[in-house]
Amino acid sequence: MAFDTICVKKTVEELNNTIIGGRVDKIYLPEKDELMMAIRTLGGNYKLVLSASANNARVHFSDFSKENPKTPPMFCMLLRKHLTSGKIVKVSQPNFERIIEIDIESYNELGDLTTKHLICEIMGRNSNVILCAEDYRIIDSAKHIDFSLSSVRQILPGMQYELPPKQDKIPILDTEKMQGVSLDFSHDANTPDKAIMSAVSGISPIAAREIVFGAIGTNSLVLGELSEISKKQILKKLIDFAENIKFSPCIIFDPSGKPLDFSAVPITYYGESYKVEYFDTMNEVVAKFYFERDKKERMRQKSADLLKLLNNNLERLTKKLVIQEKTLRDAENKEKYKIFGDLVTANLYRIEKGAESVVVNNFYEPDSPEVEIPLSKEISAAKNAQRYYKLFTKLKNAEVETEKQRQMTLSDIDYLESTLCALENAESEADLNLIRAELSDEGYIKRGKSGKKEAKSTSKPMHFVSSDGFDIYVGKNNTQNDYLTLKFANSQDIWFHTKQIHGSHTVIKLGIDKEVPKTTMMEAAKLAAYYSKARESSQVPVDYTQIKNVKKPNGAKPGMVIYDNYNTVYVNPENMTEVKD
């Protein structure tokens, strides 16, 4: 609940100062629960995102564009019909809720000027984007909520829009009611910030903890440990916070540098190992915080089927490998059965009919120690010898064939793990489609009934330019790795790959008679480490050599190569800005 009513209030204020009077130019629906509007104003052009994602609901401007569906969804078409060329006249926050309402004037089919209400509810899994007519009759919404999903509040076309039911709490933005707020300190095991959130609505946990820290200097105490003075200080600080909200949008980064949380107000209670970065606007904070997080969440959802497919196949191959290795271990004793056959044959005259075993001297070992050989009493001694020879031959043949199968299994595991790495590094739906096409070609995904190959998405290897001006290319998947290394690169170009770690092929393209500076070599190595399974590690070993030293064995799967005459460098993974060709 980082996007609390305080964040909404600040966002609404910024939108009112930016897009009022602007015209809706274009509307897209890149995700079924995410709307993007291109808005033209006298001050410039903006892309406004309204997301009803269950995990990442938000409203903010964006500089990034997503791939749009080839066929616009019905909700998108309806939004275009009612809002395109409309004028934004008002942005508001109804009833101190986590709701942003945008009023847009546009002409209807009869040529009458009407006002439509575009409402974005930012409420976790209940988030929604709703289009209402002038009288707040629901025209349509990103998510339809019927009686089967909620008996309290339905969101369906034709129904009258109503605000969510009020909570039995005091809104943090209602300064008048906040004067009489009281906190329940009776639950000794509870924490002070939870006591605040139980009494006050629209405040995020991070803001509640900041209030407690500002009052008593710690967040480590439970209510049962608080003195009466501390309780009064927390209540006083809460009321003072509500009356004098100081906006200072910020993002909190954990010790590894990852965004941990964000807030519309200053945050001071994190330790020195955490970094708090402040921004001029709430929009900058939300856009920066959610961009990577939302992209990863969307990719995780869209790649779930591929992830399951790869993991299921890896599990099956791992079990298969265990059986094969057991067979090879059993075959290690094959020579024993040949020796038994030889010893039985050499002692046929001594073995009585119906004997269950025989003790003989093993002349294959020094000093010829005695050895007891089990026999089958149902057959003759000569047939017992033949039985041991057959067992030896069977194990010998099994060892040869099983070793071939084991090498194939190891190759399949290696390939699937490299594909899993490509899946983890995939950044767009086009990347996922390329992986699907590759797995289909390799027989891991069944084609449709027609049996025809689907048209593959066109996608090129990633292109970077080093600080010295050299072109560096990185493959996104196994098929691209093959193309990059075996077709695109020249024999003198320099090839990089993480040492014994699955990752992308990386190539520095050379001109005529050019020496590659050390800076460029290190940048290419860091890219190879970044686009590998070792992205989160440090001091990653990266091998490099000329392309002429890289070979693909006959019959090897996509992306699988061998190389020699290489050197190794240890680097920390680091990305660069990709060049959009």
Instruction: Give burial (CB, 10 Å; 0-12/13-18/19+) of 112.
Output: exposed
Amino acid 123 reads M
Q: Which H or E run contains 39?
A: strand 34-41
pLDDT per position as a tens digit, 304-340? 888 899 999 999 999 999 999 998 988 888 888 889 8
Pair 535, 514: CB distance under 8 Å: no
Q: What does the block give as tokens for 472?
A: 């560096």
pLDDT per position as a tens digit, 481-522? 999 999 999 988 999 999 999 999 999 998 765 789 999 999
pLDDT value of position 459: 65
Q: Grade residue 116 by pLDDT with cuts at 50, 70 and 90.
A: very high
pLDDT value of position 254: 83
Q: What does the block give as tokens for 491?
A: 């024999």
3-state helix, strand, coil in the chain (%, to 5): 40, 20, 40
Q: At what angle do helices 205-216 and 228-243 cross, to 10 degrees?
A: 120
Instruction: Name the DSSP class of 105.
Output: E
| CA-based nearest residue to 207, from 263, 285, 245 | 263
Beta strands in 393-504 (DSSP E): 462-465, 471-474, 494-498
Q: What does the block give as tokens for 43?
A: 């001050």
Helix (H/G/I), strand (E/B), else coil: 571: strand
Q: How far apart are CA 176 and CA 178, in angstroms?
A: 5
Q: How far apart are CA 170 and CA 179, in angstroms?
A: 10
Amino acid 293 reads R
Q: How far apart are CA 530 and CA 92, in angstroms?
A: 43
pLDDT value of position 294: 66
pLDDT per position as a tens digit, 150-163? 888 999 999 999 99
pTM of the predicted model as reported, rounded to 2 decimal places: 0.62
Residue 192 reports pLDDT greater than 60: yes
